[in-house]
Structure 1
């Protein structure tokens, strides 16, 4: 899977309005947790408001009620 395709899939998962652990996302996308962290950072750089939740039940989610910018990947 290309980086662009993976970012689109990650964004699609995050848009389900639930909290995802890094491990769940890594399993779904068949990548490492480190790759998930890099991809989340890339989405943030592109203007997507990805929240990181700390603690044992932590994970990632899109900030609710925010206008989403168009997805432009290079």
Structure 2
């Protein structure tokens, strides 16, 4: 939600300062790409503890549980 608000404010700021419509669209598109990439990175960091737990669980299953069968 924060990313969407930032992009809308950024686009409005570019329009108010008198920048042409083509550069406004290019600026908003570039900022959208940057925000999406940073958002995905932050979600990965937020999920990192769970990913480590899953990796340890898979390692434990492969090395200890699967060998006894």
Alignment TM-score, normalising by the size of structure 2? 0.32
Greater per-residue helix proportion: 2
From the CA coordinates, give the structure whose radius of gyration is larger. 2
Q: Which has the higher strand share?
A: 1
Structure number with higher relative contact order (C-alpha < 8 Å, ≥ 6 residues apart): 1
Q: Name the TM-score, length of structure 1 as normaliser.
A: 0.31
